């Protein structure tokens, strides 16, 4: 009889510990999810992690500014951890401008990003191409696309960081 009670108590404690551990892992507020080193433990994440802290991609500028994976990907990280899926390829996440504008001020970007253009200057964020999404040109974990180079090739384009695709003028 005593052995049965001990077994029931031990089983209950073990079950409770497993439930609490599962809840902690699946919780989007899990402190581990805020640590990019933890994110790196999943092998499909490693190239993305590497782009945050080294390399020539825009993600590195965000890593240098102190952002972590969870700052942009919290819900996706928590979902992947809860499914314990470390083998499937991550799908590209499309961020709307509202996401970028949580940290970046559009008026400041328009005012500060200026390049020489002929005898004048060009502000690529406020040009004649109409309304574009930030992600039309800017990519985090792959090279950004210099959209204006589809029609224009200017000397300043060759001075951009390596995170930008090579400017190649296309035929009209």
Is 42 among the domain residues?
Answer: yes
- Both 127 and 71 in one domain: the answer is no
Do 56 and 122 belong together in one domain?
A: no
Q: Based on the fold, state whether residues 76 and 101 are members of the same structural domain.
A: no
Task: Select the more confidently predicted residue: 152 or 26.
Answer: 152
Predicted confidence (pLDDT) at residue 96 exceeds the cutoff of 80: yes
Report the range of poorest mean pLDDT among 23-32, 130-139, 147-156: 23-32
**pLDDT value for 172:** 45
What is the share, in percent, of the chain residues with pLDDT greater than 90? 0
Domain range enclosing 20: 2-83
Q: What string of DSSP letters covers the chain?
A: -HHHHHHHHHHHHHHHHHHHHHHHHH-TT-GGGG-HHHHTTSTTTHHHHHHHHSSSSHHHHHHHTT--HHHHHHHHHHHHHHHT--SSPPPPPPPPHHHHTTTS-HHHHHHH--EEETTEEE-GGGSTT----HHHH--SSSPBP-GGGGT---GGGGGS-TTBPPP-PPP-
Mean pLDDT of the chain: 75
Report pTM.
0.63
């Amino acid at each position: 009889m005593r052995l049965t009670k001990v077994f029931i108590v031990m089983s209950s404690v073990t079950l409770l510990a497993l439930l609490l551990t599962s809840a902690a892992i699946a919780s989007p507020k899990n402190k581990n999810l805020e640590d990019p080193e933890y994110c790196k433990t999943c092998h499909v994440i490693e190239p993305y992690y590497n782009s945050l802290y080294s390399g020539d991609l825009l993600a590195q500028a965000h890593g240098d500014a102190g952002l972590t994976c969870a700052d942009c990907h919290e819900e996706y990280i928590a979902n992947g951890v809860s499914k314990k899926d470390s083998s499937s390829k991550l799908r590209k996440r499309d961020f709307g401008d509202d996401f970028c504008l949580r940290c970046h001020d559009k008026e400041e970007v328009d005012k500060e990003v200026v390049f020489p253009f002929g005898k004048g200057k060009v502000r690529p964020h406020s040009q004649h191409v109409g309304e574009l999404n930030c992600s039309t040109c800017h990519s985090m974990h792959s090279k950004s696309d210099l959209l204006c180079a589809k029609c224009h090739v200017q000397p300043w384009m060759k001075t951009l960081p390596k995170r930008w695709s090579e400017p190649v003028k296309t035929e009209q």
